[in-house]
Amino acid sequence: MTPTASSTASSTSSHAVFDDVVRSDSSLRRFLHGLPGVDQVGCEARAAGLATRSIKTTSKAYAIDLAIRMVDLTTLEGQDTHGKVRALASKAMRPDPADPTCPATAAVCVYPDMVATAKQTLGDSGVNVAAVATAFPSGRAAMDIKLADTRDAVEAGADEIDMVIDRGAFLSGRYLDVFEEIAQVREACGDAHLKVIFETGELQTYDNVRRASWLAMMAGGHFIKTSTGKVQPAATLPVTLIMLEAVRDFREQTGQMVGVKPAGGIKTTKDAIKYLVMVNEICGDDWLDPDWFRFGASTLLNDLLMQRTKMTTGRYSGPDYFTLD
Amino acid sequence: MSRIDVRKTYKLYIGGQFPRSESGRSFVVNDAKGRLLANAAQASRKDARDAVVAARAAFGGWSGRTAYNRAQVVYRIAEVLEGRREQFEAELRAAEGITPARARSYVDAAIDRLVWYAGWADKITQVVGNANPVAGPYFNLSTPEPSGVIAVVAPRGPLLGLVSVVAPLIVTGNTVVVIASQDNPLTAITLGEVMATSDLPGGVVNVLTGSQSEIAPWLASHMDVNGIDLTGVEDAELATELEVAAADNLKRVRRPAPDTDWLAEPGLDRMTQFLETKTVWHPIGV
């Protein structure tokens, strides 16, 4: 992670620009509901239009390597074992053991109790450990438990914390509660970077996605993330488009960059490239970097590796030649 | 007022669907006298890739069915083909310029061939499997298992030739990506329609039409294809090239056979060539 985001934001969890906005529940609501509404049809058409771009040869090779570097290799199952996490961490460091030119992924993403295991394997390889915290995936726990969950993960060595917002509070309009929660978790994170998960599949409308994006950015999140991967629909192109627009507008207003992480349901190289095209078109190439855009995925990596192998060897590869997890 | 023709669009058969070629290309297919018969989809390497993905996805379910059930499905293809024989006879006559009697004999032979292979589904294990004698208190049993996804370059015979190369592969539980004869691709797609309505799960047979020399090398080098049948390759140089490409992941290769008499008794080797032998040891009980 580059320090640019944290250097301006770590001193205060919110920005002076928004002090008036977050003063009370009603001023916050006025601001969020005053954001321009999303044209649903227009947004979906734009996302679909961008998805038709054809990316070939050298651009495709670049996109595949970039996408691999952006992957947060994720395992969030009840059945996770230390062995599986070690295997996953090894894969994150060297995704294609047969090809030393293949870059490492950005991070591995695990439950807090697995952080130490992942950290031990990853060492100083440069691959970060991300931990989901705050009673992931539902977010239904008392505040002190969520904070303890976060501190636990940070103490165990997590470089990044993926928190979930309280969707119940958000949907019932208690925006300040959500704001405070994010700000407190941000504080509990210390030096670790905070990703704020909205679970857009539960937010019902695009307008809510835009509001949640601004709320999380004002509260000091380093990244905004679409989904836990446990709820369908997970990441979609239109939802990510709205979030990208939000981080773009936020930088215009505050000069500060926030990252975006779509997660869940991105399974093929084709999907990943569609997202990258969108990032470039909406936000520009400042965001085409693992510090500012991530994919939360597990199966995506194998497809990226198969496509990469196809490009280097000139023949189609098969799933037999890559690890299952 | 004369009725307007309902012209048919011949597309590919991949994963139980009939998609156009991803490339958007098509090519002209003429009848025996050189007149336009129809346009056929010209498959690209990406269509071949999609077909392999479909075949791989279908393999687990198809190979996991009982041999008895596979026999029923292949027999069902024969039944449906019998019901549509007039369409096939007309297509064969148009495509090859043969007499009605000859067209009928080809359709008869194709249907009989399907029934013949259907019967083998639950018998091949007894013929090529074995209980091996070993020096110890064990049963030692060898059983044949399907190789996996097999690419096939179909020979010229638009119906009988195609049935003769595809049926032996699917009765044993393999799934197939077949490149139809370049000269007479239309009957292959009509046969696809028969298979799509015969309880054959989508993806078990995938039919590509187009240029053999364009598509076959991608299938030959594909790491997720377990075997390749070069029966329909007539260019010796291309055949060598394909065999070399196939060696990369040690595919089973069946070499070209340009002069095969498709009306003759086929024998077992088209089935046995794409089977793997699994041998298990099991302690003898009390």
Angle, helix B160-171 to helix B100-120, in steps of 10 degrees: 10
What pLDDT is recorded for position A324?
82
Q: Across the interface, do A316 and B248 touch by the CB < 8 Å criterion?
A: no
What pLDDT is recorded for position A267?
94
Distance CA A186, CA A180 (A): 10
**Residue A86 host element (H or E):** helix A82-93
Coil, helix or strand at residue A71: strand
HEC string of B9-62? CECCEECCECCCCCCCCEEEEECCCCCEEEEEECCCHHHHHHHHHHHHHHHHHH
Distance CA B51, CA B178 (A): 9
**A window 296-325, beta carbon within 8 A of B:** 314-321
B222: chain A residues, CB-CB within 8 Å: 315-316, 318
**B window 36-95, beta carbon within 8 A of A:** 49, 52, 56
B224 touches chain A (CB under 8 A): yes
Distance CA A302, CA A307 (A): 9
Q: Which amino acid is at B269?
A: D
- Domain limits for position A116: 14-313
Q: Across the interface, do B49 and A316 touch by the CB < 8 Å criterion?
A: yes
Coil, helix or strand at residue A213: helix
Residue B16 tokens read as 């139980």
Q: A71 forms bridges with which residues in the sheet?
A: A295
Coil, helix or strand at residue A89: helix
- Is residue B225 within 8 A of residue B177, CB to CB? The reply is yes
| A78 Cα to chain B: minimum distance (Å) | 27
Residue A54 tokens read as 């054809």
The residues, ordered by sequence, that sit 6+ positions from B223 with a Cβ below 8 Å of its Cβ are A315, A316, A317, A318, A320, A321, B248, B249
Domains of chain A: total: 1
* A321 within domain boundaries: no
DSSP code of residue A104: P
Nearest CB neighbour to A318, from listed B218, B224, B245: B224
ipTM: 0.86
Coil, helix or strand at residue A105: coil
B248: chain A residues, CB-CB within 8 Å: 315
Active site residues of A: 162, 225, 261
What pLDDT is recorded for position A62?
97
Sign of CA dihedral B162, B163, B165, B167: positive
- Is residue A294 within 8 A of residue A261, CB to CB? The reply is yes
Buried b (16+ CB within 10 A) or exposed e, A139-153: beeeeeebbbbbbbb
* CATH topology for the B36-283 domain: Aldehyde Dehydrogenase; Chain A, domain 1 (3.40.605)
Q: What is the CA angle A62-A63-A68, rounded to 5? A: 100
Which CATH number characterizes residue A289's domain?
Answer: 3.20.20.70
Q: Across the interface, do A318 and B49 touch by the CB < 8 Å criterion?
A: no
Q: Across the interface, do B56 and A318 touch by the CB < 8 Å criterion?
A: yes
What pLDDT is recorded for position A190?
94
- Is residue A264 within 8 A of residue A226, CB to CB? The reply is yes
Write the DSSP assignment of chain B as a string of letters. Answer: -PPPP----B--BBTTB-PPPTT--EEEEE-TTS-EEEEEE---HHHHHHHHHHHHHHHHHHHHS-HHHHHHHHHHHHHHHHHTHHHHHHHHHHHH---HHHHHHHHHHHHHHHHHHHHHTTTHHHHH-EE---SSSEEEEEEEEE-SEEEEE--S-TTHHHHHHHHHHHHTT-EEEEE--SSS-HHHHHHHHHHHTTTPPTTSEEEE-S-HHHHHHHHHH-TT--EEE-TT---HHHHHHHHHHHGGGT-EEE---TT--TTS---SHHHHTTEEEEEEEEE---
- What's the alpha-carbon Rg for chain A, to the nearest Å? 19
pLDDT tens string for chain A (325 positions)? 444 444 444 444 456 789 889 999 999 999 999 999 999 999 999 999 999 999 999 999 999 999 999 999 999 999 999 999 999 999 999 999 999 999 999 999 999 999 999 999 999 999 999 999 999 999 999 999 999 999 999 999 999 999 999 999 999 999 999 999 999 999 999 999 999 999 999 999 999 999 999 999 999 999 999 999 999 999 999 999 999 999 999 999 999 999 999 999 999 999 999 999 999 999 999 999 999 999 999 999 999 999 999 999 999 999 999 988 7
In this prediction, the residues of chain B whose per-residue pLDDT falls under 50 are none
Q: Across the interface, do A317 and B248 touch by the CB < 8 Å criterion?
A: no
| A232 Cα to chain B: minimum distance (Å) | 23
Nearest CB neighbour to A319, from listed B224, B225, B245: B224
A318: chain B residues, CB-CB within 8 Å: 56, 222-225
A98 touches chain B (CB under 8 A): no
What pLDDT is recorded for position A315?
93
State the distance between the two ends of chain B, measured CA to CA, in whole angstroms: 85
Q: Across the interface, do A321 and B245 touch by the CB < 8 Å criterion?
A: no
B92 closest CA partner among B191, B17, B170? B191
What pLDDT is recorded for position A15?
66
B160 touches chain A (CB under 8 A): no
* A322 within domain boundaries: no
Q: Across the interface, do B222 and A316 touch by the CB < 8 Å criterion?
A: yes
B224: chain A residues, CB-CB within 8 Å: 316-320
What pLDDT is recorded for position A187?
96
* A133 within domain boundaries: yes
**A window 166-205, beta carbon within 8 A of B:** none
* A296 within domain boundaries: yes
A314: chain B residues, CB-CB within 8 Å: 221
Q: Across the interface, do B49 and A315 touch by the CB < 8 Å criterion?
A: no
A56 touches chain B (CB under 8 A): no
DSSP code of residue A221: -
Q: Across the interface, do A315 and B221 touch by the CB < 8 Å criterion?
A: yes
What pLDDT is recorded for position B257?
82
Nearest chain B Cα to A316, which residue?
A: B222
